[in-house]
Amino acid sequence: MWRSLGPLRLPEWEQSILARWQAERTFQRSVARRRGGPTYAFYEGPPSANGKPGIHHVFARTLKDLICRYQTMRGFYVPRRAGWDTHGLPVELSVEKELGISKADIGTKVSIADYNKACREAVMRYKATWDALTERMGYWVELEDPYITFDAKYIESVWWLLKRFYEKGLLYRDYTIQPYSPAAGTALSQHELNLPGAYKTVRDPSLTVQFRHQTEPDLYFLAWTTTPWTLPSNAALAVGPDFTYVEIETFQPYTREPTRVILAKESVPRYFSAEGAELPLSPEFVDVRTGRLPYRINRYLKGQDLIGQRYEPLFRYVEPDGDAWRIIAGDFVSLEEGTGIVHIAPTFGADDLRAARKNAISPILTSDAHGNPTPLVDKEGRFVPQVTDFAGRYVKNYTDAPDYRPVDEDIALYLRQRGLLFRKEIYEHNYPHCWRTDKPILYYPVEAWFIRTSALREKLVALNQTIRWYPPTIGEGRFGNWLENVEDWNLSRSRFWGIPLPIWRSRDGRYERCIGSFEELREAVEESRKQGLMQHNPVMHPDFDPHRPTVDEIILVAPDGTPLYREPDVIDVWFDSGAMPYAQLHYPFENEEIFSQQFPADFIAEGVDQTRGWFYTLHVIAAALFGTVAYKRVLVNGLVLDKEGNKMSKRLGNVVDPFTLMERYGADPTRWYLISNAPPWENVRFDEKRLAEKVRSFFGTLHNTYEFFALYARIDGYQIQPLPPVDQLPLIDRWLLSEVEKLTAEVSEAYENYYPTQAARLIEDFVIERLSNWYVRLNRRRFWKGEKDQDKWAAFTVLRYALLRTAQLMAPIAPFYAELLWEHLGERGSIHESDFPSSTLLWRDLSLEESMEKARRLTSLLHSLRKQSGVRVRQPLPQALVPASYKNWLDPLTDLLKAEVNLKAITYLDDHSQAVYYELRPNYRTLGPSLGPRIKDLASYLHTLPQEAILETLQKGKLQWEGHSFSLPDLEIRAQALPGWLHASEGGLTVALDTRLTPELEKEGWARELIHHIQVLRKNAGLEVTDRIHLRIHLPPSYQKALQSFASLIAEETLADSIEWVDNPIAGLSPIEFLDSVSLYIDISRAYEHA
């Protein structure tokens, strides 16, 4: 019992606690113990084990862990299941790098089956490292049966969800504009565009062209484009609704015919020189070479007013499907370049498509040989036959043809001949190129499947308002704004390693089927077998793998016998993780009851970067299909930056390895540091020096306190006993218990508010300031004094109680050391199976808390005064003087204060004593609103008030001033000074110190000085604190005589059985300097006990 653990060695202790937890299955037991209680549902966002975990993972996981541990201690059943996110681009890219292949090689050089096999292996590469981190940091989550997104069962649940979207009409096929390489014949990912060297500076012709107003003769809209080949696909023109436009009277530069054009006011100088405004409006002043045009501004127009006006198309190869060729609003329209009017080709630009959709304008499409809709440029990058003037011509030189003639030039020529070209320039800009063929990419329409999230917008927003966000601003701002502007979710990825879209379609698009379960697929394959389209049924196989290529080989059949082929895409991995509440339980195929208990989650926690990620996908799926939220509370954490505030990255070499950290300092300090340093949602600047400091200041102090307790408890054979009734305890114990209750209440509140930073800081402050630096420091004597009486046992009991309570309060954040304390303080079982303490108001004594706080401040003032006086602390001083108004709260603490500062008395000064000066100031807070500017006059009036008037005011409790009557709460009273004494004031407290020594006090000071020297010798001699001694002492006779009257005090303090005063310096001993001037000889010898 009360074993000493020696100096702090957290990493080592943590290892043995880990071993114990594992052997006793403490985590599982702590969860199981609460089964039957209310469920607190927690979802673990699945990490990808494709890379090594970093310190930021420790941060996020500490937050998750501590909330779950806290709720478990509160009595909730908190099942926690680990999961793995396994699909997606990062895995694919790493595999491609390893195999030395590119995407185009998949299916040719490497089979899809082999490729996916490699992905499946690569994605779990660091699973062991992740599991090791989870365990080492004390993150309690069930690792033995994790959910894995590539599991067939997981995928089946995802299919079921997709089919529900499909049935609700929320899953639809459309196209999206993607970077596309005609030369390579493939779409490129955003990632491929970001490869170094992808962006090249190129020179393209840029045209400013005239779109003829439909009803007003000779009025044109001027639009600017750097991709002339998209002009045949023009469907609309976009303006900025808030911009100002001008109508200008001028001449067509090439035909010199009078004309009127509209463009943005800011663009005028780009097209018209100032000189032009002065020139007569006559065609002979047109200079085609320099571009000089005479012009007049006719009128100003608001962009808003242009919207809806119609124009004649430049080309009319295809009749548009619907209401094209009009002016629309575009938020992307800029005044930096061009005319402030933007040509919109929805088939070849992402902004264009978005704007067109918003305005219900159909893209310009025609039909290919099979009758399927196609844009005016085919996948090889050639104009389709319907574009008669340019049919078959490549829009860029994709084939390296030596005689390639840029089609852009011919389009310019064509327009010029028709008087529709206003200007042609060469434009130099950065443009992305295909990294393999080095050819410019095309933004091209690619078929894709979408979730119609835009139709859910209101529901998403409304449900979000019921989610508790920590901090709230992210829910309202970042997430809320995103939802309000949400657009349809493009689910398609033309990749290989992912959950395949369970949709089969006929070539002509007349038939389509979405599959929602393996059972359904199996039956569908059976039908298709009957029709002879399939030879065997792969879904019959017990290990059916729903990945590519297996599903690609399945051909289904339409009622009329038409074969149906799978849509080739896989889905966005974010859908995988958003499906986790259902798919982790293989819902609805299994576990319906468990699902209903654990959905929605009470709590999730991830980084801010998940706003558009997991937070979003969870929300969309739950809102769309279940009409509810997926999580009720979400705690958002910021990033972990290095100590300079830079993001940690391999490139900068500032990545901190969590394992090294935990081996060096321990998991608890790492967790504690991350939690206590700053609120979770702010970025944490990680500084190892501070972590080391945390070990020393908090864990070191707490551990010292335990060691102190254990040392004396061991010596005295303290036996655990219940707390005595509070009213029988000494004041200081009652104070500590009150503080413990206060701490409990405040820490509980912090946890309840998902603000663990506050909890950690409160605990730190309690341990360092109250428990260690005040309670233990003041009570040391009670622990080592001789008698084993009630008072001593009470001290042990109260201190042990406070330590245990501290352990429980800190257990969620620092589970290891809390466990250690629990065990060593003699409690059974694991602290994590204990019930979180609730605070007892009964033990609170608010006035005692406040008085003690003041007394602590007073002590600090007195220490500072002693320091100024130059009198050693060992020298007792006669008295401290304080104003009489302190009497009520200070009286009970007098003894403590006297002992702490080594005083003989505390004297209260009468209010009328000349020694106290009072000062009155207005209470700005209460008087400010009513007095307004006159408060300054009152302040100066109070300042000039004589002392007698102040005292009179204090006595009457009232003050009259210029017709106003003030009571005491309206005035701030300060005891300002005690002239003639050594005094100090701080925060309304004033104290003076009497440093006049009487001979008697001086002698006592000598005695204490002597005791001090003896203690040093005891220590140097290596004596145990309980060893008894014999003393022989020599001092000059005058001192010797004075000290003899303190012999019993000296003997008691130093555990001396005998003191012999010797007349002469003791031979063989060197003198000790006593009181800076006197030679002292002490001979110390251990007293052996005789039987």
Subset of 970-1009 contacting RNA (CB under 7 A):
985-986, 1008
Binds RNA (CB under 7 A): choice among 696, 788, 943, 956: 696
* φ, ψ (nearest 5 deg) of residue 445: -70, 130
Considering the complex, what minimum distance in angstroms separates the CB of residue 335 from RNA? 11
CB 724 within 8 A of CB 785: no
Could you give the string, one character per residue 731-760, with x where binding to RNA holds by CB under 7 A and - elsewhere?
--------------------------x---
Based on the shown chain and the rule CB under 7 A, indicate whether residue 26 belongs to the binding site for RNA.
no
Binds RNA (CB under 7 A): choice among 365, 580, 776, 975: 776
DSSP letter, residue 1055? T
Binds RNA (CB under 7 A): choice among 135, 247, 693, 746: 693
574 among known catalytic residues: yes
Based on the shown chain and the rule CB under 7 A, indicate whether residue 864 belongs to the binding site for RNA.
yes
Based on the shown chain and the rule CB under 7 A, indicate whether residue 869 belongs to the binding site for RNA.
no
Identity of the residue, 216 or 1052, whose beta carbon is nearer to RNA in the bound complex: 1052
Binds RNA (CB under 7 A): choice among 196, 280, 371, 645: 645
Residues 6+ apart with CB under 8 A from 225: 206, 207, 209, 231, 343
46 among known catalytic residues: yes
Considering the complex, what minimum distance in angstroms separates the CB of residue 178 from RNA? 12
Catalytic residue among 109, 647, 867, 887: 647
Q: Between β-strands 468-470 and 633-637, what pairing exists: parallel, antiparallel or unpaired? A: parallel
Identity of the residue, 287 or 476, whose beta carbon is nearer to RNA in the bound complex: 476
Q: Measured between alpha carbons, how far is 621 from 581 in angstroms, rounded to an integer?
A: 10
Catalytic residue among 200, 650, 788, 936: 650
Q: Measured between alpha carbons, how far is 809 from 764 in angstroms, rounded to an integer?
A: 11
Catalytic residue among 178, 210, 598, 610: 610
117 among known catalytic residues: no
Binds RNA (CB under 7 A): choice among 125, 358, 612, 958: 612
Based on the shown chain and the rule CB under 7 A, indicate whether residue 935 belongs to the binding site for RNA.
yes
Q: Which stretch binds RNA (CB under 7 A): 315-323, 828-836, 885-893, 1014-1022?
A: 1014-1022
Residues 6+ apart with CB under 8 A from 88: 48, 497, 498, 573, 576
Binds RNA (CB under 7 A): choice among 447, 523, 687, 994: 687
85 among known catalytic residues: yes
Q: Measured between alpha carbons, how far is 333 from 178 in angstroms, rounded to an integer?
A: 21
Based on the shown chain and the rule CB under 7 A, indicate whether residue 465 belongs to the binding site for RNA.
no
Considering the complex, what minimum distance in angstroms separates the CB of residue 192 from RNA? 15
Considering the complex, what minimum distance in angstroms separates the CB of residue 7 from RNA? 5
Number of residues interacting with RNA: please give it, by CB under 7 A: 80
Considering the complex, what minimum distance in angstroms separates the CB of residue 708 from RNA? 4
Q: Between β-strands 640-642 and 489-490, what pairing exists: parallel, antiparallel or unpaired? A: unpaired
CA distances from 897 to 778, 863, 882 (A): 9, 11, 12
- Cα-based angle 1073, 1074, 1076 (whole degrees, multiple of 5): 75
Identity of the residue, 124 or 1017, whose beta carbon is nearer to RNA in the bound complex: 1017
Task: Give the bridge partners for 513, in sequence order.
Answer: 504
Q: Which helix (H) or strand (E) holds 349?
A: none
Based on the shown chain and the rule CB under 7 A, indicate whether residue 777 belongs to the binding site for RNA.
yes
Considering the complex, what minimum distance in angstroms separates the CB of residue 503 from RNA? 24
Residues 6+ apart with CB under 8 A from 609: 639
Q: Measured between alpha carbons, how far is 520 from 526 in angstroms, rounded to an integer?
A: 10
Considering the complex, what minimum distance in angstroms separates the CB of residue 10 from RNA? 14
Binds RNA (CB under 7 A): choice among 90, 291, 419, 700: 700
650 among known catalytic residues: yes
Residues 6+ apart with CB under 8 A from 256: 283, 286
Please state, as a whole number, how many other Cβ atoms lie within 10 Å of the Cβ of residue 12. 11
Based on the shown chain and the rule CB under 7 A, indicate whether residue 711 belongs to the binding site for RNA.
yes
CB 245 within 8 A of CB 300: yes
Q: Measured between alpha carbons, how far is 1047 from 1053 in angstroms, rounded to an integer?
A: 10
Catalytic residue among 2, 21, 47, 85: 85
Based on the shown chain and the rule CB under 7 A, indicate whether residue 454 belongs to the binding site for RNA.
no
Among positions 658-677, residues that touch RNA (CB under 7 A) are 677
Binds RNA (CB under 7 A): choice among 89, 93, 195, 608: 608
Q: Which helix (H) or strand (E) holds 706?
A: helix 701-716
CA distances from 542 to 152, 464, 539, 720, 801 (A): 11, 42, 8, 61, 59
Q: Measured between alpha carbons, how far is 724 from 63 in angstroms, rounded to an integer?
A: 38
Q: Measured between alpha carbons, how far is 781 from 791 in angstroms, rounded to an integer?
A: 11
Among positions 346-375, residues that touch RNA (CB under 7 A) are 350-351
Based on the shown chain and the rule CB under 7 A, indicate whether residue 1022 belongs to the binding site for RNA.
no
Q: Which helix (H) or strand (E) holds 1089?
A: none
Q: Which stretch binds RNA (CB under 7 A): 517-525, 555-563, 769-777, 947-955?
A: 769-777
Based on the shown chain and the rule CB under 7 A, indicate whether residue 379 belongs to the binding site for RNA.
no
Binds RNA (CB under 7 A): choice among 929, 946, 980, 1022: 929
Binds RNA (CB under 7 A): choice among 20, 530, 541, 867: 867
- Residue 800 CA neighbour count, 13 Å, CB half: 27
Q: Between β-strands 366-367 and 373-374, what pairing exists: parallel, antiparallel or unpaired? A: antiparallel
Residues catalogued as catalytic: 46, 85, 574, 610, 614, 647, 650
